[in-house]
Structure 1
């Protein structure tokens, strides 16, 4: 038995949330891609990672109007099964892609700060592009199974709840959780090691470094706020569903999970907010991107890339401001 929920709360809450995320995400990431493609020269290996993160965020936002229409129509999909799976695949692949590229950016920052003389820091742009392609292949291989999902004529969801015990944890749900917790652990490790390294070198008291550390903390907090609630809720659903299947008839399991499932769909919609916030990361974490953005809008530049590099070399923390 498969649970189909009426989603009264979702019909009223999700459409405006998804549309706001769509507008902010398309404007922010569209601007970021424009800056990357036409105004930011020369590229570096870290620029490749930021560009691919912007691509992942932009593609994710394209699917949001279809999801908003789905909820506005009373949770009725009107565009056919093929487009349903394509939409779900775009959401899953680009959500996972965003977390993997954020993880790669954290590793890149960690290597440049903690191991500045390692050969990986001198990767060419072409090799960085190959690494980005590898991340995309991993992401697509983990989420391509969505095209094999079957749906009824109007219900378009990938996180289906079934009352049979053997369907408690599917590959899609496992991939959803692992694609968050693995990047989270890597990002936290890299961040703690960067802070530890800078404090050991007594750089943490300098105003520029304190600002960089503060921003690093904000990035981690935003990542947790956007992605953690949906993953924790999914874990709760697994545990709750397992207990209910053991004690209730099949027709009562879905009713008992209604509120928790609604909470999950709201929290998973919050993950898309991360794509709207990532352009802020580009602007404040990269002086080159900031100056290119200000130059494109004919605004006075706060600082030149060359002077920024000179200052950061003097503090021993070049990579924090060049990412």
Structure 2
């Protein structure tokens, strides 16, 4: 039984500033990517569908950023009510879970396209990939429950939201974290590592004497590098720090100075996690010849191509 309640303390203003800056850049890059997908890309392939859904999941994060940044800037004092707290948790959970899911599906798709290029696979059919993405979004509805399981609470001084110092939410934090850590990070990471290891083995055997072979090898290596960077830089610190934090809170609740440092590290890991919004557009640009070609075309040329397709129909 806890004998001491560790009080929540305000975080440095730099956390709020960096959080807003990174998500502002991510909002611009993903907004631009969505514009290219929807307004300038007439023909979508299976990989395009997955990339579009990844961009959609990244576009969710900036919606929650102002609330979290204001919360930190106000000294960990939540002043926006219960519903806003639940909404912020839902948006953050949907963003991080959605990004990991679609990054994993992209790795599987790339594995199928390169390693099993001469074998039939449902991942090569647009109708199947569309259903798969719809299923992923339905699964993400599960994250809505996090907002109701982790409500805002008050301590002696502050109203708290998404804070390790919420004594009544300790058990819920602990359970939800390990569900996210095991099913939402370890499993996708294992699948991605398997796909990337097979991809590296496969592309190392590609004949680079031909231009087609060079393009496939270059695109695959870029995809592997960017996706692994996102997992290691953005998602690994967030999941590891959060796991350590909930374990310390559950079993060593009186170590207040340690909990405060872990909470600061946890919020800092949100900043690292937000960098994935800035890195994901590089997957579209470097990993998709179609996206790169469309990006380099003028709007007039794209519109002319659309008109020609309409006339042919």
TM range (shorter): 0.7 to 0.9
Matched-pair contact (CA < 8 Å) for 1:40–1:292: yes
**What is the CA distance between 1:21 and its match in structure 2?**
1.5
CA 292–200 in structure 1, closer or farther in 2 if over 3 Å, else same: closer
Matched-pair contact (CA < 8 Å) for 1:88–1:157: yes
Residue by residue over 1:240-293, the C-alpha shift from the partner in whole angstroms, topping out at 9 and shown as x without a partner, is 445525xxxxxx333442112211221133111101211122111111111212
Inter-partner Cα distance in structure 1 for 2:203 and 2:289? 20
CA 88–239 in structure 1, closer or farther in 2 if over 3 Å, else same: closer
CA 243–62 in structure 1, closer or farther in 2 if over 3 Å, else same: closer
**What is the CA distance between 1:142 and its match in structure 2?**
4.2
Inter-partner Cα distance in structure 1 for 2:168 and 2:258? 12
Equivalent in the alignment of 1:167:
171
- Structure 1 length normalisation: TM-score? 0.80
SS state at 1:257 partner? helix
Q: Which moved more, 1:95-104 or 1:252-261?
A: 252-261
Equivalent in the alignment of 2:65:
64
Equivalent in the alignment of 1:141:
142
Which residue, out of 225, 240, 262, partners 2:233? Answer: 225
CA 4–86 in structure 1, closer or farther in 2 if over 3 Å, else same: farther
CA 204–221 in structure 1, closer or farther in 2 if over 3 Å, else same: farther
Inter-partner Cα distance in structure 2 for 1:273 and 1:43? 26
SS state at 1:26 partner? helix
- How many residues are aligned here? 290
Equivalent in the alignment of 1:177:
181
SS state at 1:118 partner? coil
Matched-pair contact (CA < 8 Å) for 2:31–2:59: yes
Inter-partner Cα distance in structure 1 for 2:6 and 2:49? 42
Matched-pair contact (CA < 8 Å) for 2:150–2:162: no
- Structure 2 length normalisation: TM-score? 0.82
4+ runs deviating over 6 angstroms: none
Structure 2 stretches lacking a partner, 5+ long? 302-313
Inter-partner Cα distance in structure 1 for 2:78 and 2:13? 16
CA 244–145 in structure 1, closer or farther in 2 if over 3 Å, else same: closer
Which residue, out of 194, 200, 205, partners 1:189? Answer: 194
**What is the CA distance between 1:210 and its match in structure 2?**
5.2
CA RMSD of superposed structures (Å) = 2.8
